[in-house]
Amino acid sequence: MAANGSIDYLARDGRAYITINRPDKKNAMTNAMLDQLMDGYDRAEADDDVRVVVLQGAGDDFTTGHDLAEVGTEYGETTLDAKGRPRKPSQRARLLHDKRYIERFERVFKFLKPTLSLVKGYCLGGGLYLAEASDLVIAADTAKMGHPEQKLGLSGAAYFAAWEMMALGPRKARELLLLAQVWDAQTCLANGLVNKVVPLADLQEAGEEWAERIVRLPRDGIVMGKAATNLAMDSLGISSQFAYGPILHALATNVRYEADEYNFMKERRDKGVRSSNHEREAFYDKKEQE
């Protein structure tokens, strides 16, 4: 494993195992790791012997999504005007970045072969998008899934909002996003975020059982079945989320914070990622208790 994490790839017995490997950071992914992840899917799609991709995380967690240390600077460093005052990133810079960012999840969503995510521990933010983009999800009983990043001020501007409304229903999808709750495994199962829940000790075995069922299918049948699925998603309008997602996210990241609101970006700048993240959670927990 590289010092800043890695994406490990192993092809064997008709399967491509892609492992997010940064357990000391709960498998939080940098932009470099996200690019490596796409390389893994490219390799699997090009390999005719691979019939299914199994996505998993090293250690105790799936992934907590995009590394918060990179959040807030993804649109480039702040520039100064002629008088030395800071300028916000342009909308064109925001849209360009968000378009490239969502294309990674769209790549998984429209992958030409079946995909299976094995979720344990934390599966948050961009990690949840990866699970939602997968065809099948088996969760361990330790799984904790949600969009706590909504507390950064996004308030429901999610890349997979259309898919979540289809899978969970509009009411539960809005609950998941607006309340920024993290659901346990059984709540995820009850609301359609995962296919099944198994004890942690049985997660790999359960994944192998389903992978084996898939690899016994004919290669052409597998690919044509996935192509038909993608057409169905298009006909339902679900795939439109990849067109409007970058626009809404770019707007949502340009929110103005008022004096009584928690500004994660400002607090992170002044106090660092760990402290500001804890303070963010404490701020919302306090509000819930009042």
Write the pLDDT tens digit of every residue in 33-90: 999 999 999 999 999 999 999 999 999 999 999 998 877 666 665 666 677 777 777 8
* CB-CB contact of 193 with 163 (8 Å): no
Determine the angle formed by the axes of helices 161-168 and 126-133, rounding to 10 degrees: 60
Q: What is the mean pLDDT of residues 150-156?
A: 79
Q: What is the 3 state secondary structure string of 102-126?
A: HHHHHHHHCCCCCEEEEECCEEECH
CA distance 149 to 201: 29
* Whole-number average pLDDT of the chain: 90
Residue 226 has which token pair? 């996935």
Same domain? 221 vs 290: no
Same domain, 145 and 11: yes
Residue 54: domain span: 6-255
Residues 243 and 286 in one domain: no
Task: Scan for tokens 């103005």, then name that residue.
Answer: 256
163-170 long-range CB contacts below 8 Å, 24 or more apart? Answer: 163/132, 163/238, 163/241, 164/132, 166/236, 166/238, 167/132, 167/192, 167/193, 168/192, 168/193
**DSSP one-letter string for 168-208:** H-HHHHHHHHHS--EEEHHHHHHTTS-SEEE-GGGHHHHHH
List pLDDT tens digits, range 157-170: 788 999 999 999 99
Count of domains forming the chain: 2
> Could you say which DSSP state residue 24 is in?
G
The one-letter code for the residue type at 288 is E
| CATH number of the structural domain spanning residue 215 | 3.90.226.10
Q: Are residues 279 and 138 in the same domain?
A: no
Pair (79, 193) in one structural domain:
yes
Summarised one tens digit per residue, pLDDT across range 209-260 is: 999 999 999 999 999 999 999 999 999 999 999 998 888 878 877 777 788 8
Residue 180 lies in a domain: yes
**Which amino acid, one-letter code, is at 177?**
L
Q: What pLDDT score does 251 carry?
A: 81
Where on the phi/psi map is residue 208: left (φ > 0), alpha (ψ -120 to 50), or beta? Answer: alpha
Q: Is residue 274 located within the same domain as residue 248?
A: no
Tell me, yes or no, whether 150 and 117 share the same domain: yes
**54 in a domain, yes or no?**
yes
Question: Quick one: how far is CA 151 from the chain centroid?
Answer: 16
* Residues 278 and 180 grouped into a single domain: no
264 and 203: one domain?
no
Q: Are residues 264 and 243 both part of a single domain?
A: no
In Å, how far are 106, 166, 221 from 235, measured between CA atoms?
A: 16, 13, 21
Report the Cα 222 to chain-centroid distance in Å.
25
Contact between 66 and 53 under an 8 Å Cβ cutoff? The reply is no
Q: Is residue 1 part of a domain?
A: no
Pair 154, 198 in one domain: yes
Place of tokens 């404490």: 282
Please state the pTM of the whole predicted model.
Answer: 0.87
